Amino acid sequence: MGAIMKKAQTAKKPETIISLKDITKKFPLEMGGEQQVLFDITFDVHAGEFVAVMGPSGSGKSTCMNIIGALDTPSGGTYELYGRNITGLSPDELAVIRNEYIGFVFQQFNLLSKRTVLDNVMLPLMYRGLPMSERVRRAREMLRRVGLEKFESYLPTQLSGGMKQRVAIARALAGDPKLILADEPTGALDSKMGNEILKFLKELNKTQGITIVMITHEFEIARYANRLIHIYDGHITYDGPVPNTEAALIKSESKGRKK
């Protein structure tokens, strides 16, 4: 029994990918003064998690996403990514961080309409300065992984919405990131295509151990994750396993209104 306890105590903890501590965000107002949209946001995300950050429109979840994705900087608090404090980095330094460590999947796909599918997937690798042969090899491998290897010469305008999102996922995977940040990844898709994309993200998380943070305002989408962080009026009002019903989140919003 003692040996079992000792083994459990010395078991390696999952790597901390994201660590937000007391994050605040304020925006200046045109008429003077400031508006605070995030209040003391604190949470960690560990390697292999699939986390949904959920909240209604205006809750602050998109601002939180921009900070996690190094697209914006907090007004206060500390953000560590892979153990490195990136809170005070310059815009150019943050651009390097984004390219090397984070794979993005956006609601509107953000594909270049006049470039082929292969070119779109290769794009982040070009910014890394990889030789063309390596870019092509990686891009083709990612397209094979998402089931679109036969469409590399197509333009995005020739693809369905679900296929465009798979191209976006292949592009996110091309840089071999440990973290994928998915911002409303099914927002531009019908329910059938949306469910296929969510199942695919869940499979990536389960079989390849890729950490996924997904931003959404819909509980049915959040249910694909294993953990849910609910934000209301800039405060975290729930952080835990995805509940069976949305009732727990409605209660958490009520608590948030009282703050």
Query: Quick one: 64 exposed, middle or buried, by C-beta within 10 A (0-12, 13-18, 19+)?
Result: buried
Question: 6-20, 122-136, 202-216 — which one is most confidently predicted on average?
Answer: 202-216
Q: What CATH number is given to the structural domain containing 75? A: 3.40.50.300
Residue 5 lies in a domain: no
Residue 3 lies in a domain: no
Q: How many CB atoms lie within 10 A of CB 227?
A: 18
- 88, pLDDT greater than 90: no
Tokens of 243: 């509940």
Question: CA-to-CA distance for 67 and 86, rounded, in angstroms?
Answer: 10
For residue range 202-233, what is the model confidence (pLDDT) as tens digits?
999 999 899 999 999 999 999 999 999 999 99
Question: CA-to-CA distance for 18 and 239, rounded, in angstroms?
Answer: 15
Q: How many CB atoms lie within 10 A of CB 104?
A: 19
Predicted confidence band at 108 (pLDDT cuts at 50, 70, 90)? confident
Range of the domain at 75: 14-257
Query: In this structure, which amino acid lies at residue 129?
Result: G
Residue 224 lies in a domain: yes
Question: CA-to-CA distance for 78 and 23, rounded, in angstroms?
Answer: 6
Residue 6 lies in a domain: no
What is the pTM assigned to this prediction?
A: 0.87
Counting the structural domains of the chain, the total is 1
What pLDDT, on the 0 to 100 scale, is given for residue 32? 84
Contacts of 59 (CB under 8 A, 6+ apart): 231, 232, 233, 234
For residue range 53-63, what is the model confidence (pLDDT) as tens digits?
999 999 999 99
- What is the average pLDDT across 31-42? 93
- 227-232: strand order across its sheet: 102-105, 179-183, 211-216, 50-54, 227-232, 235-241
Q: Is 192 helix (H, G, I), strand (E, B) or coil?
A: helix
CB 101 within 8 A of CB 179: yes
Residue 65 lies in a domain: yes
DSSP state of 219: H
Residue 4 lies in a domain: no
